């Protein structure tokens, strides 16, 4: 049956989902308050990080958090003015880090990653998207034997889930794959099958153009509320109302506000990420690099270099603190001694994150014709194609390709 489906959100999750629903024969309209790839889908690292199966909420992480929080420019920070507001989320995060919960979340994340990797292969073939991809592998860098040994359990997890990697235990082995690094890095882990897009914004815009070319519509509209109606959903926008058979809500860091209009209270928080992007020629970067002890990455974007990462749990309203981007760049200059820092552009974006590191994928408990697909945190680009196929199955009333119980909105 052909349905009129409205997708709210034109980031990578929304556009990929719209394209998948269109492929299944549905009439699809995408609404977004700012337009295609206007938020986190534009400024992320561009990575399809299928090897990152471990949730952020790991056993023992709360013992490390106080040390991080004492450094306002460190890899994790909470502005003092936001600390009280985020306390309930932190409590849920702590509960998610307990060993039993962690194992459940790890299994769910690994299942979604495996499905998402296969779905991305199908998507690339469908849209002839291979020229938009970079298949160079990725390297995680460590500064000592002790730091390297501490990482080994995470590499063992990858091995258990069939992820190929190579451990490098000398500066010479590292330099063979990536010349020009500081000699402070003594060990590394190389993931050969890691891939990136040449530019996350361009990838989403490319998918959106495919969607339009096949008859889809994208409109700039601010969605104010959703109401479950007989036979569908009523969407309140700034200048009126739209009726749809089904709605897919994937509005990133703003999604929980719209879910609340349906009576669903979902503990989504905002990880504010910072980066600086330099033009082509800034550094001979052969592959994405993760500086494991410092919480940031260097990736190649349009032939240039993007330095970004870190986590600031600060919500949607506080002004950006670009001192965080400056702090990352100061370290990057030490780690990549030949980096040319002229012509850089700073950016801050909002990552929509849930306490257990898993997204919400499934029907609203209060409105069965509204499908939620949000809260992917750092992994929206990575999990986008898989999420789109899962939503497609739900819209068509078919069994999803993996169990969606761990991703249910009712789990909180």
**Whether residue 249 sits in one domain with residue 120:** no
Please give the average per-residue pLDDT across 252-280, as a whole number: 95
Distance CA 268, CA 263 (A): 15
According to the model, what pLDDT value does residue 74 have?
Answer: 67
**Whether residue 170 sits in one domain with residue 286:** yes
* Six token digits for residue 169: 């235990």
Residue 1: pLDDT over 60: no
- Strand 27-32 versus strand 4-8 pairing type: parallel
> Could you tell me the residue range of the domain that residue 386 belongs to?
4-42+201-265+357-411
Count of domains in the chain? 2
Among residues 353, 370, 386, which one ends one of the domains?
353
**Whether residue 184 sits in one domain with residue 61:** yes
**Whether residue 224 sits in one domain with residue 104:** no
Please give the average per-residue pLDDT across 296-324, as a whole number: 91
Among residues 335, 353, 371, which one ends one of the domains?
353
Among residues 307, 326, 353, which one ends one of the domains?
353
CA dist 78 → 30, 66, 272, 285, 299 (Å)? 34, 11, 10, 32, 26
Nearest alpha carbon to residue 385 among 10, 33, 12, 1: 12
Share of the chain above pLDDT 70, in %: 97
According to the model, what pLDDT value does residue 70 have?
Answer: 56
Least confident of 77-91, 237-251, 392-406: 77-91
CA dist 20 → 13, 49, 291 (Å)? 11, 21, 35
**Whether residue 362 sits in one domain with residue 348:** no
**Whether residue 381 sits in one domain with residue 307:** no
For residue 2, what pLDDT band results from cuts at 50, 70 and 90?
A: low
Distance CA 66, CA 46 (A): 30
Arithmetic mean of pLDDT over the chain: 93
Alpha helices in 128-170 (DSSP H): 145-160
Global confidence as pTM? 0.94
What is the CATH number for 192? 3.30.9.10
According to the model, what pLDDT value does residue 360 have?
Answer: 98
**Whether residue 131 sits in one domain with residue 77:** yes
**Whether residue 375 sits in one domain with residue 396:** yes
pLDDT in tens, 340-363: 999 999 999 999 999 999 999 999
**Whether residue 143 sits in one domain with residue 84:** yes
Distance CA 404, CA 412 (A): 14
CA dist 210 → 139, 252, 338 (Å)? 33, 22, 39
For residue 303, what pLDDT band results from cuts at 50, 70 and 90?
A: very high
End-to-end CA, the chain: 33
What is the CATH number for 242? 3.50.50.60
**Whether residue 143 sits in one domain with residue 124:** yes
Please give the average per-residue pLDDT across 277-302, as a whole number: 94
According to the model, what pLDDT value does residue 67 have?
Answer: 62
Please give the average per-residue pLDDT across 198-203, as a whole number: 97
**Whether residue 242 sits in one domain with residue 102:** no
For residue 72, what pLDDT band results from cuts at 50, 70 and 90?
A: low
CA dist 203 → 12, 127, 197, 302, 317 (Å)? 8, 11, 7, 11, 28
* DSSP secondary structure letter of residue 335: H
Residue 63: pLDDT over 80: no
For residue 3, what pLDDT band results from cuts at 50, 70 and 90?
A: confident
**292 CB burial (10 A radius; 0-12, 13-18, 19+):** buried
Residue 65: pLDDT over 70: no
Are the C-beta atoms of residues 105 and 57 closer than 8 Å to each other?
yes
For residue 49, what pLDDT band results from cuts at 50, 70 and 90?
A: very high
Residue 334: pLDDT over 90: yes
Share of the chain above pLDDT 90, in %: 82
Distance CA 93, CA 99 (A): 12
**Whether residue 188 sits in one domain with residue 207:** no
pLDDT in tens, 102-156: 999 999 999 999 999 999 999 999 999 999 999 999 999 999 999 999 999 999 9
């Amino acid at each position: 049956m052909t349905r009129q489906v409205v997708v709210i959100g034109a980031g990578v999750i929304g556009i990929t989902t719209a394209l998948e629903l269109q492929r299944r024969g549905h009439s699809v309209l995408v609404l977004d308050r700012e337009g295609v790839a206007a938020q986190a889908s534009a400024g992320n690292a561009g990575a399809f990080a299928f090897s990152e199966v471990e949730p952020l909420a790991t056993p023992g992480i709360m013992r490390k958090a106080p040390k991080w929080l004492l450094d306002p420019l460190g890899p994790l920070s909470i502005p003092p003015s936001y600390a009280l507001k985020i306390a309930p989320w932190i409590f849920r995060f702590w509960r998610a880090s307990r060993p039993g919960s962690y194992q459940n979340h790890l299994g769910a994340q690994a299942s979604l990653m495996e499905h998402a990797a296969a779905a991305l292969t199908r998507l690339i073939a469908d849209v002839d998207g291979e020229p938009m991809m970079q298949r160079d592998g990725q390297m995680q860098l460590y500064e000592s034997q002790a730091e390297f040994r501490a990482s080994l359990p995470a590499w063992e997890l990858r091995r258990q889930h069939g992820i190929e990697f190579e451990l490098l235990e000398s500066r010479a082995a590292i330099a063979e794959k990536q010349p020009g690094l500081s000699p402070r890095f003594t060990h590394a882990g190389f993931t050969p099958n890691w891939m990136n897009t040449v530019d996350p914004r361009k990838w989403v815009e490319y998918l959106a153009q495919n969607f339009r070319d096949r008859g889809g519509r994208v409109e700039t509209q601010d969605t104010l509320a959703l109401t479950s109606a007989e036979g569908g959903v009523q969407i309140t926008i700034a200048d009126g109302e739209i009726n749809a058979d089904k709605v897919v809500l994937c509005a990133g860091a703003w999604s929980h506000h719209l879910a609340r209009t349906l009576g669903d209270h979902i503990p989504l928080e905002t990880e504010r990420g910072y980066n600086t992007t330099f033009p082509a020629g800034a550094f001979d970067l052969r592959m994405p690099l993760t500086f494991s002890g410092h919480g940031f990455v260097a990736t190649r974007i349009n032939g240039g270099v993007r330095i970004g990462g870190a986590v600031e749990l600060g919500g949607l309203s506080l002004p950006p603190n670009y001192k965080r981007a400056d702090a990352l760049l100061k370290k990057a200059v030490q780690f990549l001694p030949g980096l040319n820092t002229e012509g850089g552009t700073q950016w801050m974006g909002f990552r929509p994150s849930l306490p257990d590191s898993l997204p919400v994928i499934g029907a609203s408990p209060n409105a069965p014709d509204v499908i939620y697909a949000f809260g992917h945190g750092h992994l929206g680009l990575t999990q986008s194609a898989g999420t789109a196929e899962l939503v497609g199955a739900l819209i068509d009333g078919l069994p999803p390709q993996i169990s969606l119980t761990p991703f249910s909105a009712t789990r909180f």
